[in-house]
Amino acid sequence: MKLYGLSGTKISCALISACINTPYNIPRFIKDLIAGITVGIIAIPLAMALAIASGVPPQHGLYTAIIAGLVIALTGGSRFSVSGPTAAFVVILYPVSLQYGLSGLLIATLLSGIFLIFMGMARLGRLIEYIPLPVVLGFTSGIAITIATMQIKDFFGLTLEHMPESYISKVIELTKTLPTINIADTIVGFVTLMILIAWPKLKVKIPGHLPALIAGVIIMFIFNQFGYQIETIGSRFTYTMADNTIGHGIPSVLPEFSVPWLHTEFNWDWSMLTALLPISLTMAMLCAIESLLCAVVLDEMTHTKHHSNSELIGQGLGNIIAPFFGGISATAAIARSAANVKAGATSPIAAVLHSLVVLLALICFAPVLSFIPLSAMAALLLIVAWNMSAVQRVIYIIKCAPKDDILIMLICMSLTVLFDMVIAITVGIVLASILFMRRIARMTRLVELNQSNDKTLALRINGPLFFAAAERTFSEIYQKINGYKHIVLQWDAVPILDAGGLNALIHFIDELPEHVDLSICELQFQPLKTLARAKVVPTSNKIMFYSTLEEALKDKD
């Protein structure tokens, strides 16, 4: 059984391979059920916390985990990925929700889904392999720093009416408001944070998110008895029901279908839509990077293989459908997906069940969720930011990697914090490409062979002859030709001849003195093909080609 997208790219690859091509039975379902419940418990507070950090009410994070998590699990290409709101999106979504409101965020999400569909149909899934590790570590660490900074306000209960957009302004405003610290909020956040840090050391199967939040709620109730007021989900957020009654916290109703652009007081026009297009492309790029990185990590953990283009199409469908039910941007979450694997998941059914667990919590426990303190949610996101920062890998790069890689990582990190992810990734990839080309160009060297004599200069070119290396290489050869009648170049170690290398070769031939001829031997296939297409043919007393070095030298005797 095969399902195909418009361009022939298969969708639902993970579901088909795991549950249809491979027999699915009751024991496997039980394993998926356990994994789904485990990840669902983790996803409930995270989805709410990430929605709040993105500037929208917490129920929209739950809607995202329910709708997008379900759709992507059924249509994607990674067997163990669990999708929903993730921390990486916070730095992009918060400014959008601030400027355009919930409607703008939903429309941007829908547009990003369309971009993802096009990426999958164009088979761009393998392009993730061309993003260097220092670039990835740089922008993920930068995002982690930004997210952690944004949690300071709620963690300490600071009084801050408006959070500035630029990072430097955020730090300045947070510093100014430090005297407004709320000791009760701080203690609740600190207790929650300590439990989250210590819980993994207990090595129990229950995720630490739930016990930590329960402890935070208990501490809050104790402080309330002494007259301290601690801000909660219920005290900050309100909602309006269909009968115009206003409630506090999270509505315990199913996600309802609604058109995204009707959520707003703005009059949407083409100019506002075009303003969201570059943001949507940024969201699509980040979704593609994070979901495919997650799939690669899961492949290493499970010794399986994901289908990258199918995963992009699945992510696109999830981000197109979710906004019609109030869901914001979603992508595969590495932490939740890894927990899914460790909990024993065998198929995408586990991710489907995770969405149903979140749905059950929304319907049955919404009033209880409204009591969660915002300082406890901030503590949860601080842990997420720490895990996302990959501190150990960053330290390893700084200690062991070449200086070029360290420079790229630090530049990407700084640009992500001070500007945005797109600038960071663009500059990082361009800089990494330039430095890589410089390294490769330096590898192209000339070696003088023992067969040289008074009349013949025999040289071996070791390395690619591309635009960054060819001019220098042929200039070095030209400086050596004085006094020789024959130049023999051995090309057995030249794997590539590009347009720049071809141009440098032709220029070198044209500049040769009349009494000097050139012989090239032992060409590999790609350079030979390039020369043939350029119609570079043997010319008497100018340039000749030979199969072996021995033939070339013998002809010069």
6 has pLDDT over 70: no
pLDDT, one tens digit per residue, over 20-43 is 888 899 999 999 999 999 999 999
Rounded CA separation 178/159 (Å): 9
Nearest to 513 by CA among 480, 542, 490: 542
- CB proximity list for 532: less than 8 A, separation 6 or greater: none
97 has pLDDT over 50: yes
Residue 4 domain-assigned (yes or no): no
> Are 305 and 221 within one domain?
yes
State the pLDDT at residue 272: 81
Q: At what angle do helices 26-53 and 374-389 cross, to 10 degrees?
A: 110
- CB proximity list for 504: less than 8 A, separation 6 or greater: 465, 470, 471, 473, 474
Can you tell me the mean pLDDT for 285-300?
90
State the pLDDT at residue 357: 96
Residue 71 domain-assigned (yes or no): yes
> Are 422 and 464 within one domain?
no
Can you tell me the mean pLDDT for 126-149?
88
- CB proximity list for 536: less than 8 A, separation 6 or greater: 502, 505, 506, 543
Can you tell me the mean pLDDT for 77-83?
94
State the pLDDT at residue 451: 86
* Structure tokens belonging to residue 226: 């002494």
Rounded CA separation 72/113 (Å): 11
Rounded CA separation 557/456 (Å): 9
Q: Which of 433, 458, 492 is the last residue of a domain?
A: 433
Nearest to 84 by CA among 117, 109, 104: 109
Rounded CA separation 503/368 (Å): 72
- CB proximity list for 269: less than 8 A, separation 6 or greater: none
Mean confidence (pLDDT) of the chain: 90
Residues β-bridged to residue 353: none
> Are 164 and 85 within one domain?
yes
Residue 508 domain-assigned (yes or no): yes
317 has pLDDT over 50: yes
> Are 417 and 463 within one domain?
no
Nearest to 1 by CA among 25, 22, 29: 22
State the pLDDT at residue 263: 63
| 3 pLDDT tier (thresholds 50, 70, 90) | low
State the pLDDT at residue 265: 58
Query: What is the pTM assigned to this prediction?
Result: 0.84
469 has pLDDT over 80: yes
Rounded CA separation 545/420 (Å): 53
pLDDT, one tens digit per residue, over 343-373 is 999 999 999 999 999 999 999 999 999 999 9
CATH of residue 474? 3.30.750.24
> Are 506 and 450 within one domain?
yes
The beta-strand segments (E) located in 463-516 are 486-493
Is residue 316 within 8 Å of 120, Cβ to Cβ? yes
State the pLDDT at residue 353: 97
7 has pLDDT over 60: no
Rounded CA separation 291/303 (Å): 17
| 266 pLDDT tier (thresholds 50, 70, 90) | low
State the pLDDT at residue 465: 95
Sheet with 486-493, strands from edge to edge, namely: 445-448, 456-462, 486-493, 517-521, 543-546
How many Cβ atoms sit within 10 Å of the Cβ of residue 13?
Answer: 27
State the pLDDT at residue 545: 95
> Are 420 and 481 within one domain?
no
Q: Token match 């309802």: residue? A: 256
Q: Helix, strand, coil % (nearest 5) of the chain?
A: 65, 10, 25
Query: What's the structural domain count of the chain?
Result: 2
State the pLDDT at residue 204: 81
Can you tell me the mean pLDDT for 139-154?
92
Residues β-bridged to residue 84: 331
> Are 414 and 534 within one domain?
no
Rounded CA separation 308/550 (Å): 49
Which SS3 state, helix, strand or coil, does residue 29 take?
helix
| 543 pLDDT tier (thresholds 50, 70, 90) | very high
State the pLDDT at residue 4: 52
Residue 180 domain-assigned (yes or no): yes
Rounded CA separation 151/377 (Å): 9
Is residue 409 within 8 Å of 394, Cβ to Cβ? yes
Q: Token match 């590999």: residue? A: 524
pLDDT higher for 162 or 114? 114
> Are 341 and 402 within one domain?
yes
> Are 494 and 514 within one domain?
yes
pLDDT, one tens digit per residue, over 420-460 is 777 888 899 899 889 989 989 999 999 999 888 889 999 99
Q: Which of 381, 402, 433 is the last residue of a domain?
A: 433
Nearest to 148 by CA among 384, 365, 357: 384
Q: Please tell me the number of Cα atoms within 13 Å of 140 on its side-chain side.
A: 23
Residue 513 domain-assigned (yes or no): yes
> Are 367 and 486 within one domain?
no
Quick one: what percent of the chain has pLDDT higher than 70? 97
> Are 172 and 96 within one domain?
yes
The boundaries of the domain holding residue 419 are 13-251+286-433
Residue 274 domain-assigned (yes or no): no
45 has pLDDT over 90: yes
- CB proximity list for 381: less than 8 A, separation 6 or greater: 49, 50, 53, 87, 147, 148, 151
Element (H, E) at 309: helix 308-321
| 1 pLDDT tier (thresholds 50, 70, 90) | very low
- CB proximity list for 328: less than 8 A, separation 6 or greater: 51, 54, 56, 60, 61, 63, 64, 85, 89, 93, 105, 106, 109, 322
Residue 37 domain-assigned (yes or no): yes
Rounded CA separation 529/502 (Å): 11
Q: How many helices (H) and strands (E) does the chain have?
A: 21, 11
> Are 20 and 160 within one domain?
yes
Nearest to 286 by CA among 438, 446, 85: 85
- CB proximity list for 519: less than 8 A, separation 6 or greater: 486, 487, 488, 489, 543, 544, 545, 546, 552, 555, 556
Q: Which of 433, 458, 489 is the last residue of a domain?
A: 433
Rounded CA separation 172/413 (Å): 20
Q: Token match 């909660």: residue? A: 232
519 has pLDDT over 70: yes
Is residue 336 within 8 Å of 130, Cβ to Cβ? no
Question: How far, rounded to the nearest angstrom, does the alpha carbon of residue 286 sit from its chain's CA centroid?
Answer: 5
Q: Alpha carbon of 340 to those of 16, 30, 92, 94: distances in Å?
A: 19, 13, 26, 28
